[in-house]
Chains A and B, each alone.
Chain A
Amino acid sequence: MKLNPKQYEEMTKRASPPSPVWKDCLWAFFVGGAICCLGEGIRQIWLLWYDEELAGTLTSLVLILLSALLTMPGWYQKLAAKAGAGTLVPITGFANSVVSPAIEFKAEGWITGVGAKIFIIAGPVITYGVLASWVWGLLYWVMGKF
């Protein structure tokens, strides 16, 4: 059977049951909210000893470590199947997007496998984030001249 992309799209639409959007959103809200709440708890502890900036960095480090530990046995992915953007959008989702391909592509070697594929999602995120911040830096510098 030959299909053009449009027909294929029609078929997949019919075959895949629609996941109710409100249910997805509830999952995303509660899981995403819970991760941020956990972050706030960790941040309050660091704030006992350090200033805002360092406390923020240390909070990210702890969340990244937790995410990596949950990614190794595949638990983070299991939660992500339910929680969708609730696990994707927090920094733990970013860490998962780094750790997961690193493990998956180990079979392709340490350089072209792990080393290259580790950036498969983090690469574009860092690239365009840095580009956007550079543009803002230029603007901010120009604005400072007037």
Chain B
Amino acid sequence: MNYLWAFVVGGGICVVGQLLLDYTKLTPARILTAFVVAGVVLSAVGLYAPLAEFAGSGASVPLLGFGHLLAQGVQKAVDAIGLPGAFTGGLTAAAGGIAASLICGVLAALLAKSKDQN
């Protein structure tokens, strides 16, 4: 069941993105940004945690989950150290994903040639 709900919820979130791509003139960069900010908002109002509980990776793998991670991180840090946590919590929680992407990016640039892109 875990897998079924991960599939359905994750796929459903991607369909929302696809509808935005098809019906609006939003570029991919804008859609990704919108999804992360929407994830923060949904997490802040308390809707995303139950979804993540229910759908597992179906909720955490789409970029909405990245926003949820930021919001949860901030909340945890504010609980621990107060106001400064609003500054440190988000990036602390997201550090692994961001660092991994950047490291993979530079290593890939080292290994690949520009012309490989087509």
Contact = CB atoms under 8 A, between A and B. Distances in A.
Given A85-B14, A121-B28, A93 B63 contact: yes
A57 B95 CA distance: 9
B61 interface: yes
Most buried by B among A64, A92, A107, A129: A129
Main secondary structure of the interface of B (DSSP, over half): helix
B87 to A, nearest CB: 7
Given A60-B96, A144-B79, 17 more contacts: A21-B19, A36-B10, A39-B6, A39-B57, A44-B2, A56-B69, A63-B61, A68-B101, A94-B66, A99-B104, A103-B109, A104-B117, A121-B29, A125-B36, A125-B66, A132-B36, A136-B71
A47 B89 CA distance: 23
Interface residues of B, number: 80
A73 B35 CA distance: 27
Nearest to A95: B101
Interface in A131-145: 132-134, 136-141, 144
